[in-house]
Amino acid sequence: MSKPLAIRSLQCADHAHNIPPKVLALSWFVGKRCNYDCSYCSPHTHDAVSPFLSMSDAKNFVDSVHMHCSANQKKIKWSFTGGEPFLDPSFVGLLDQVRHRDTTYQINVTTNGSLPIEMYLAAARIVDGITISLHLERSEQEIAAIIEKCTMIKDCFVSVNLMCASGRLEQIKMMQSRLEENKINYVLRKITPMVHQEHLLPFVIEGAGRKNQNLLPITLQSKNKMQWRKNANPMRGKKIAEYYSQKELNHILAVNNKKTWHNCGVWFDNGVYKEINSDYLLANDLSSFRGWTCFAGVDSLFVDFDGQIYRGTCQNAGAVGHISQDFHFVSTPTVCEFDWCLCNTDICVRKARSDQVRLVSHSKTDRASL
């Protein structure tokens, strides 16, 4: 199979026509608090006790990003996720604050769909898109209610990430049929099972008072989480191969290869340029970019649950700031140090093999002709 040489973003119209893009893709993990406890979701990304986002810190960061982008004639594509962001009572207010900035290009939110429909209808009047992650470990009644909510949201684009838990192929196919019958957009999401349990952080702090005994200190989390990602990342391919049967993998691959919306353009080593969905690269195990030049930090930013700011979800090259402080924006690309790029958002950030960087730094809009 041909391998990628370079990737450009097609996540919005600006990205499709400008290299470098004039829209900053900003992903914000607003908190780990979640009302679900899926078997495949690590304590690094969810719990039932983490504090909600500090609204004063959030406002400080929104102001900083707005002023930077305004001064540099850029817009911002905001993407919010968690945990479950709608559990935070201030979250819809944050969305409204972002919407009223003239640097805002687009707002998207990812949720598990479990909150009351009234909350989603209110958010739909503010945001451009709501993505609902549909978890098959939930009850049939709850899944049916979430699908119904998808059909009720009319004021923004709605899509579903169908989380493909192993051993549930027939249920996955049934859910696909139900989503298609209701004309709901969806993709199949491969699950990367938890790895290296010994590197998971403790949830009880020795000597802490009763009120805070289940909270992770930010210093410990910041010190350890990068090492955990590095340890876990090389195991991705092996663990997925063990987690799924070949029949399940073939089905996910076949469905995602047919997806029609394109969010990235890829130059392959056989001389072909192709516009595809990033799920194609994930499904075909083509998301390994170690040693590539990556423009995460220049074209994108990621804010973690603890307020630390990184170039991308992968946290490559370490933190570059915190939302509570004045933030100086990254202006140069970095080199990927991971074996796998696991996030669709990170995959779509422009990047190239070190000898092919010209493909994603040229100013022409006709990318395929280069």
What is the predicted pLDDT for the residue at 368? 52
Residue with tokens 């930013």: 301
What is the predicted pLDDT for the residue at 209? 35
203 is written with which tokens?
């949830």
Contact between residue 85 and residue 92 where contact means Cβ atoms under 8 Å apart: no
Class of domain 4-369: alpha beta
178 is written with which tokens?
């139900």
pLDDT tens per residue, range 16-67: 888 888 999 999 999 999 999 888 887 777 888 888 999 999 999 999 999 9
Under 8 Å CB-to-CB from 346, ≥6 apart: which residues? 296, 300, 312, 313, 314
Alpha carbons 336 and 359: distance in angstroms, whole number: 17
Residue with tokens 């810190």: 57
Predicted structure pTM score = 0.85
132 is written with which tokens?
């609902």
What is the predicted pLDDT for the residue at 237? 53
DSSP for 295-307, please give it: -BTTTEEEE-TTS
pLDDT tens per residue, range 146-179: 999 999 999 999 999 999 999 999 999 999 999 9
What is the predicted pLDDT for the residue at 63? 93
What is the predicted pLDDT for the residue at 194? 62
| Residue extents of the structural domains in the chain | 4-369
Alpha carbons 166 and 108: distance in angstroms, whole number: 28
Alpha carbons 243 and 163: distance in angstroms, whole number: 13
Torsion of CA 168, 173, 175, 179, to 10 degrees: 160
Q: Residue ranges of the chain with pLDDT lower than 70?
A: 193-241, 259-260, 363-370
* % of the chain beyond a pLDDT of 70: 84
Element (H, E) at 9: strand 4-9
What is the predicted pLDDT for the residue at 363? 55
What is the predicted pLDDT for the residue at 206? 37
Residue 264: name the closest of 13, 8, 5 by CA: 8
What is the predicted pLDDT for the residue at 224? 54
Q: Strand 157-163 and strand 129-135: pairing?
A: parallel
What is the predicted pLDDT for the residue at 86? 97
